[in-house]
Chain A
Amino acid sequence: MYEYGTNLLISYVININLSKFFNFVRYCVISRSPKFICQSDWLVHPFILQHKQTKMLFATCSLTTAVKSVRETTWLLHYQNICKQSSNGYKIHACKKTDFKIHAKLNSNMAQYSNFAMGSEGVLPKQAQIVICGAGTVANSVAYHLVQNGWNDILVLEQKKIGSGTSHFGSGTLGLFKPIADRNLIMYSIKLYRRLQELGYDIGFKQIGSVNLAQTKDRLIALKRRMAYHQATGLHCEVVGNKELKNFHPYLRTEDLEGAIWVPEDAVAKPQAICEALAKLAKEGGARYVENCQVLQVLTENARIKGVETNIGTVFCEYFVNSAGMWARDLGLNCSPRVRVPAIPAEHFYVTTPCFEPELDSWLPCVRDYDSHTYIREWKGGFMVGGFELEAKPAFGGAGIPEDWKNKLPQDWNHFMPLWEKAIHRLPILKDVHNPVLTNSPDNFTPDGRWILGETPEVKNYFVSVGMNGNSLQGAGGIGKAVAEWIIEGVPTTELIPFSVQRFLDLHNNRQYLLQRTREVVGRHYSILYPHQCEYKYARKLRCSPLYSVLEKRGAVFGTRMAYERALYFDSTYKDGDPLPQMPPGSFYKPKFFDFMREEYLACREGVGIIDMSSFSKIEIKSSGSEVVDYLQRVCSNDVNIPVGGIVHTGMQNEYGGYENDCMIVRQNDNSFFMVSPTNQQTRTFEWMQRNLPPDHSVGLTDMTSMYTVINVVGPKSRDLMSELSNSDVKLHPFTYKKVNVGYASDVMVMSFTHTGEPGYCLYVPSEYALHVYDRLMTVGQDYGARDVGCLTQRFMRIEKFIAFWAEELTSLTTPFEAGAGHRVKLDKEYFIGKFALQRQKEQGVTQRLVFFVLEDIDPDIHIWPWGGEPLYRNGEFVGTVTSAGYGFTLDKLICVGYIRHPGITKGDSNGHQIVTNEFIMAPGAKYEIDIAGQRFLAKPHIRAPYIPHINMDSTSCRYRPTVVSLKAM
Chain B
Amino acid sequence: MAIGCRAQQLVANKCFGKCTVRSAEYHKRARPICVLNKNVIQQKEQRIYEQYHQNYRTLYTSKNLAGTPRLSPQEVTSFLRANEHTQEFTTTGSVKSYDSNQLSSNNPIEDTRTEAQCLLTNGLLLGVFDGHGGASCAQVIAKRLFHYITVCLLPPDILHKYLNALENNETMELLNVYNDKVELVDELKILYEASFKIFVKELSQIKGNQRDFHMKEAMEKAFLRLDDDISNEALCKNDGKVNMKTLSIAMSGAVACVAHIDGPHLHVASIGDCQCVLGMLSDVSTWTAKKLTTEHNTDNHEEVERILREHPNNERDTIIKMERLLGQLAPLRALGDVKYKWSKSTLSNAVLPYYGETVIPPNYYTPPYLTACPDVTYHRLTPRDKFLVIASDGLWDLVSPLQVVRLVGEHMSGKVTLNPFRLPRKGMHISDINKMLLQRKEGLKMKPTDRNAATHLMRNALGGTEYGIDHVKLSHLLSIPQELVRVFRDDITITVVYFDSEYLRHCPP
Partner-B contacts on A (CB < 8 A)? 577, 602-603, 605-607, 716-717, 779-780, 782-785, 951-952, 955-956, 958-965, 967, 970
Contact = CB atoms under 8 A, between A and B. Distances in A.
Nearest to A958: B509
Nearest to B504: A783
A785 B283 contact: no
Interface string B488-509: 0000000000000100111111
9 contacts: A602-B506, A783-B383, A783-B505, A784-B383, A955-B380, A956-B380, A960-B267, A963-B121, A965-B121
Contacts of B155: 962, 964
B35 interface: no
B263 to A, nearest CB: 8
Interface in B362-387: 378, 380, 382-384
Contacts of A960: 215, 262, 265, 267, 378
B158 A967 contact: yes
Contacts of B200: none
Contacts of B508: 605-606, 716
A834 B262 CA distance: 56
B120 A967 contact: yes
Given A717-B509, A964-B155, A967-B161, 9 more contacts: A607-B506, A783-B384, A960-B215, A962-B121, A962-B122, A964-B122, A964-B158, A965-B122, A967-B120
B135 to A, nearest CB: 31
Contacts of B382: 783
Interface of B: 118-123, 153-155, 158, 161, 172, 213-215, 262, 265, 267, 283, 378, 380, 382-384, 429, 501, 504-509
Most buried by B among A716, A779, A956, A960: A960
A606 B507 contact: yes
Contact of B122 (A780, A963, A970): A963
A782 B505 CA distance: 7
B12 to A, nearest CB: 43
A83 to B, nearest CB: 76
B505 A964 contact: no
A455 B296 CA distance: 80
B505 A962 contact: no
A607 B213 contact: no
Contact of B121 (A717, A779, A956, A964): A964
A573 to B, nearest CB: 12
Contacts of A961: 213
Contacts of B509: 606, 716-717, 951-952, 955, 958
Contacts of B429: 577
B283 A780 contact: yes
Given A606-B506, A783-B505, A970-B172, A962 B123 contact: yes
Contacts of B283: 779-780, 783
Contacts of A779: 283
A960 B265 CA distance: 7
Contact of A965 (B120, B161, B172, B506): B120
B383 A782 contact: yes
Contact of B505 (A607, A959, A965, A970): A607
A967 B214 CA distance: 23
A965 B172 CA distance: 13
A962 B262 contact: yes
Contacts of A952: 509
A780 B384 CA distance: 11
Contacts of B119: 965
A888 B63 CA distance: 79
A785 B506 contact: yes
A937 to B, nearest CB: 31
A559 to B, nearest CB: 27
Nearest to A956: B380
Contacts of A783: 283, 382-384, 501, 504-505
A782 B384 CA distance: 10
A211 B383 CA distance: 62
Given A606-B507, A607-B506, A963 B262 contact: yes
Nearest to B263: A963
Contacts of A607: 505-506
Given A962-B262, A964-B155, A784 B121 contact: no
A166 to B, nearest CB: 56
Contacts of A785: 505-507
A840 B504 CA distance: 55
Contacts of A964: 120-122, 155, 158
A726 to B, nearest CB: 15
A717 B383 CA distance: 12
6 A-B pairs closest in CB distance: A783-B383, A606-B508, A962-B121, A716-B509, A785-B506, A962-B153
A716 B508 CA distance: 8
A607 B215 CA distance: 24
A152 B213 CA distance: 80
A625 B265 CA distance: 54
Contacts of B378: 960
Nearest to B384: A783
Nearest to A782: B505
A964 B509 CA distance: 17
Contacts of A970: 161, 172
A543 B108 CA distance: 77
Contacts of B122: 962-965
Contact of A959 (B172, B214, B262): B214
Nearest to B212: A959
B169 to A, nearest CB: 15
A785 B382 CA distance: 10
A605 B507 CA distance: 10
Contacts of B214: 959
Nearest to A724: B283
Contacts of B507: 606, 785
A784 B501 CA distance: 10
Contacts of B161: 967, 970
Contacts of B501: 783
Contacts of B121: 962-965
A951 to B, nearest CB: 7
A965 B162 CA distance: 13
Contacts of B215: 959-960
Contact of A962 (B172, B213, B384): B213
B292 to A, nearest CB: 15
Contacts of A717: 509
A959 B378 CA distance: 10
Nearest to A720: B382
A30 B122 CA distance: 78
A607 B509 CA distance: 7
Nearest to B503: A785
A716 B507 CA distance: 11
Most buried by A among B122, B161, B172, B509: B509
A965 B158 CA distance: 10
A961 B210 CA distance: 9
Contacts of A955: 380, 509
A960 B210 CA distance: 12
B144 to A, nearest CB: 20
A952 B380 CA distance: 14
A607 B384 CA distance: 15
A959 B265 CA distance: 10
Nearest to B214: A959
Contacts of B118: 962, 965
Contacts of B383: 782-784
A784 B505 contact: yes
Nearest to A577: B429
A691 B120 CA distance: 67
A963 B119 CA distance: 11
Most buried by B among A603, A607, A960, A962: A962
A784 B123 CA distance: 22
Nearest to A784: B505
A959 B123 CA distance: 15
A808 B161 CA distance: 52
Contacts of A963: 121-122, 262
A651 to B, nearest CB: 34
